[in-house]
Structure 1
Amino acid sequence: MTRMLALVGAVFFLSACTSLVEKGDKLYEQGMYQQAAEFYQQALNEDATDVEAQQRLNQARYKIIDRGLIEVRMLRLAANQVGAADKLEAILRNQSSWHIEAMGAQAATQSEEIRYAEQFLRTQAKDLASSTYPDKFRWFEHKYAFLVANAQLTSLLTGYQQQLSEQATNKCHTLAEQVQGQRFFLKQLAQKYCSAWGVSPTFKLDQRDQSRYRSIVFNKQLQLNTSKRRAHQQLIDGALRELKDQFQQSIWYSPFGDNVLNLTITADVDYQRNSIQKQQEKRYLVKELRLDPNDKSKQVEVDIERVYIYPQTHYHEEYSARLSYSGQLATMQFANQYIDSKNNRTVSHSADFEEAELTPRTAKFLDQTGAFSDYLKHLTQGTSEELTKLWANQYCQNQYAQNSTENVLRCARVAPDDDYVNSWFERQFGIDYKAMRTLYGA
């Protein structure tokens, strides 16, 4: 039986994989090679030994490259040299990732397009090296790394490094001169930038960062009117640890921060349970022998209704909680609250009478600690997002602040796509923030 089940499972598994391959084949026949490749890849994810799926995947990928090379040629003929180079770079990266090489006519077309791209790369490299933005050149090297290698232009680009290094060194010293006082984020950028270009400047900074906080202190205001008070306190302590962790993982925290965040935690919990005793009736039937009304000499069995009376306890529970935290971050309110209540009615009795089909019944009371745990989760969820939002409100809105450079870098940490951020980086380095972060981890 076990062997049969294993066989059925194997057949089902193989049929599922075959289905994915068949779906891929249909798309392949329609010329939808990218979508077909995705189905072949799914089949391989389910069975890495599926030789047919691997073969089909390679075929689809060769077709993707064929089509890509046609697009490269069309872009080049349309005088879109940048678009052609970008597309050709993507093809070369895919080939490396897929572990496949162009062959035959495809290889000839690819080589031809690389030769055309070579002249574009040479011109671009020369122009960028003579500009005042050495990082633009470095981003160019990163962006077209595979194309540069295939066009055998590595030595050409290396020849510009001395000239670029001199420009970058000057940029590094300019940044370093601005690192003073409260410019802690500028220091981080300057350190990474200068280190990448082999420069070791010195900085003059204050000891404490006035924009951030080194610790968080909780002021608990608890009114726990419940028999589960101890359990509630333990849950509150756990929630405070969670709040502390989220705060210390946020951008507002720094061991060099100058401030202490005072957060007031309020928890008002009220639980009431009332009970009343009630007499409950349960009617049931018993069989008894009675004289047969048609023949007094005989007895017949008849159903007799009886009543069993027993006591029940009826409970009514009311549970309510009002939770909140509040504090000041910079000049902004950092706060949240959650309010909820529950009502429950339940019954218990100890009657145990089989003839009336009665067994003891236990009251089902509210799970106070479970409910309170859920309430606390509602209170603390989204805290990280709120901290990020408050930081953005503080440093991404005031674009004309006196310390604008530091504000740009503060804003960049939470809003890398902000126009305010990217326009500053493009003016300073010739590339946007994401490119700088890729090159230098800025």
Structure 2
Amino acid sequence: MRKPLYILTLALCLSACTSLVEKGDKLYKQGLYQQAAELYEQALDEDSEDIKARQGLAVARNKIIDRGLIEVRMLRLASNFTGAAQKLETILRNQSLWNLQTYGAQAATQSEELGHMQVWLRREAENLAHAQQPDRFRWFESQYAYLLNNAQITSELSRYRSILAKDGKARCLSLAEHVYGQRFFLRQFVHKYCLAWQQPVSLQLDNYDQSRFRNVKIRENLKLGTYDSTAQRYLVENTTSQLRNVFQASLWYTSQAKKTARFEFNTDISYERQARHSQQEKRYMVTEYRVDPADQEKRVEVDIERVYIYPVTEYQEYYSARLGYEGLISGQMLSHQQSSSEVNSTKSHSANFKEADLEPLVAQFLNLTDLLKSQLDPIQGKFEEDLNALWHRQYCQHSAAESVAENALRCGKVDPQEDFVNHWFRQEFGVDYRAMKSLYAL
């Protein structure tokens, strides 16, 4: 039995791969090379030995490079050298990732565009090196790493190292002057920044971060009006344990703090089961032999309806649950409440009478443990979401001049796209938060 099943599974898999390849071929013919490549990749994920998918992927990727080089040329001719450089960088990265080599006209076009980019890259490097914003230069090197290497001018940039190092160290020392008091995130950033520019600094802060917490305690308020409170209690305890873990993994938790965050987790469950006893009847037909009214000497088959009466217990269940947490953090209330209810009707009997097609019936009661678990499961994600939202309200909506740097760094942890975050980084370093995060592992 196993061998035919294996053959069937293999056939279905091959059929699916063939379908993906055929779809990829259609997209390729329509000039949708990127979408075609994605389907060929899916086919290879399912069958790495699929020759047609492998060939299709190679041809589609080659067309992607061709089209990309055309776009590079068009951007350059439109004097959009930044756009052309970014596009050519993407092409070179893909060639490396895909292990592709260029030949013939494609290689000639790429070589020509690299020649034009050499001029632009040298000019950009010269301007950035003397702009007194060394991080813009570092981001330039990171952003166009493949392009600089292929244009063979990476080594030329070493002549700017002394200028950049001087500016970087000066910026480090300027930032270090603002590290004091409760600016713990600024201290962490400045430490990394100065280390990158090899500038030793001594950074002093308060002993404890007064805005965050070293410990968290969650008190459980349980009202479990169910028949199996042991299982319910275990689920609630497991949930509060998960909430503690979520808090300890959040931005609100740090070993540099001293305070304890306190929450209450409320669980109020009520359950009632009502039973009503009654009798039900089931009609069924039997065949008996009776005297034929037309001939007293004969007997004939006659269908007779009979009634079977049996006891039934009907149940009505009523379940309701109110769950939630609440606590005060930095003067702001963090809370979540949810409620749900269930009504279930079921019945049971022990009748076992084949003539009436009756078998014993077991009542289908609510599974209170599974029901509570399904209600508790989303709370962990909601708690994490609320903690981040509270952090956002605390640090992404307050940008007073004396704390803008600290708040920008704190806000960037949860919302790197926040306008005031990127405004501060561009003003200070010439690049946005994403670039600085990449350069200094924020």
TM class by shorter chain equals: over 0.9
Partner of 2:83: 83
SS at match of 1:165: helix
Whether the 8 Å contact between 2:239 and 2:380 is mirrored in structure 1 is yes
Amino acid at match of 2:155: S
Cα distance in 2 for partners of 1:352, 1:429 equals: 84
2:49 is aligned with 1:53: no
Instruction: Return the offset for 1:2.
Output: 7.3
Which stretch shifts more, 420-429 or 1-10?
Answer: 1-10
2:218–2:244: 8 Å Cα contact kept in structure 1?
no
Instruction: Between 354-363 and 320-329, report the one with greater CA deviation.
Output: 354-363
| CA offset digits 1:270-289 (Å, max 9, x no partner) | 11122232233333344444
Distance 2:413 2:215 in 1: 20
Deviations 1:219-256 (A, max 9, x none): 22222122111111111001111211222222111122
What is the aligned partner in structure 2 of residue 400 from structure 1? 400
- Pairs within 5 Å for 1:315-330: 315-330=315-330
**TM-score, with structure 2 as normaliser:** 0.93
On the 8 A contact 1:337/1:379 being kept in 2, the answer is: no
Question: Cα offset for 1:139?
Answer: 0.5
Instruction: State the SS of the aligned residue for 1:243.
Output: helix
CA distance in 2, matches of 1:331, 1:395: 13
1:249-305 deviation digits (Å, cap 9, x = unpaired): 221111222332211121111111222322333333444443322222333343344
Relative to structure 1, the CA distance from residue 223 to residue 6 in structure 2 (aligned partners, 3 Å threshold; closer, same or farther) is closer
Which residue of structure 2 lines up, in the alignment, with residue 28 of structure 1?
28
- Quick one: which amino acid aligns to residue 328 of structure 1? L
Deviates more, 1:73-82 or 1:165-174: 73-82
State, as a whole percentage, how many aligned pairs show the same letter: 50
**Equivalent residue for 1:180?**
180
Q: Which region of structure 1 is more displaced relative to structure 2, 418-427 or 42-51? A: 42-51
* TM-fit CA distance, 1:13: 4.5
8 Å Cα contact 1:211-1:258 kept in structure 2: no
Q: Is the 8 A contact 2:265 2:325 kept in 1?
A: yes
Deviation at 1:402?
A: 3.6
2:408 is the counterpart of 1:386: no
Q: Any unmatched runs of 5+ in structure 2?
A: none
RMSD of aligned Cα (Å): 2.2
Counterpart Cα distance in 2 of 1:70 and 1:78: 12
**Structure 1 counterpart SS, 2:135:** helix
- Other-structure match for 1:155: 155
Q: CA-to-partner distance for each residue in 1:190-240, whole Å, 9 max, x for gaps?
A: 121112222332211112111212222122222212211111111100111
Q: Distance in 1 between matches of 2:350 and 2:9?
A: 52
1:103–1:204: structure 2 CA closer, same or farther, 3 Å change rule? Answer: same
SS of equivalent residue, structure 1 residue 180: coil
Matched, 1:120 2:113: no
* Cα deviation, residue 161, structure 1: 1.0
| Count of residues paired in the alignment | 442
Asked whether the 8 Å contact 1:265–1:326 carries over to 2, the reply is yes
Task: Give the counterpart letter for 1:47 in structure 2.
Answer: D
**What displacement does 1:8 show?**
6.4
Tell me whether 85-94 or 14-23 shows the greater mean CA deviation.
14-23
1:398 counterpart SS class: coil
- 2:8 and 2:282 map into 1 onto residues whose CA distance is 55
Q: CA separation in 2, counterparts of 1:41 and 1:263?
A: 49
Q: Which moved more, 1:203-212 or 1:256-265?
A: 256-265
Deviation (angstroms), 1:137: 0.6
Amino acid at match of 1:88: L
Residues 324, 338 of structure 1: 8 Å contact kept: yes
